[in-house]
A = this chain, B = another copy of it.
Amino acid sequence: MDDAATNAPVNEAPYRLLDEVDLGEGVAIYSFTNLYGCRIGAGTRIGTFVEVQRGASIGAACKIQSHSFICDGVTIEDEVFVGHGVMFVNDKRPRATAGGELQTEEDWELLETVVERGATVGSGATILGGVRIGAGAMVGAGAVVSRDVEPGATVAGVPARPLRGSAPALQ
């Protein structure tokens, strides 16, 4: 980190990269973000250091917090909370190359993931490809979700499992 500075001057420019993004009304996108080829519903907030890839779809009135990565194949419905540092995955066994050349989209099967309305994904969670997180469910911080989560359930841990005694979340 050789570019350090001491009490450096403030730089106020809003550094955002937006390319072919279908933005709803009143979307708020913070600085240091990279969104391309995706859909963002009305009123949703996208935090700093977030990347949303081509093919991802995010509903209305969502909060996508800082440092998160939303990949192709992910559909996030309305009123979903995605915490900080959440990583979505869309490939079961990713590899850098095929036959010595960098893989392209043709080299893998895209796994589709859905986060249903009103669900929460806690900070630091990793969501494997191909799962469905049910409406109003809550994924605990730091969980690794490798199978479907029932609507209203609370799951936590690695791999994520329902918490004993967890009841459907009220909301």
Binding site for B on A (CB under 8 A): 1-8, 10-20, 23, 26-32, 34, 36-37, 43, 45, 47-49, 51, 53-54, 61-63, 66-67, 69, 71, 79-81, 83-85, 87-89, 93-97, 100-103, 118, 120, 122-124, 126, 128, 138, 141-142, 144, 157-159, 169, 171
* In contact, A97 and B84 (Cβ under 8 angstroms): no
Q: How near does chain B come to A149, taking the closest CB pair, in angstroms?
A: 15
* In contact, B122 and A142 (Cβ under 8 angstroms): no
How many of these chains are in the complex?
Answer: 3
Among the listed B37, B48, B89, which residue makes an inter-chain contact with A51, where contact means beta carbons less than 8 Å apart?
A: B48
Instruction: Please give, as numbers and ranges, the residues of chain B lying within 8 Å of A54 by CB-CB distance.
Output: 2
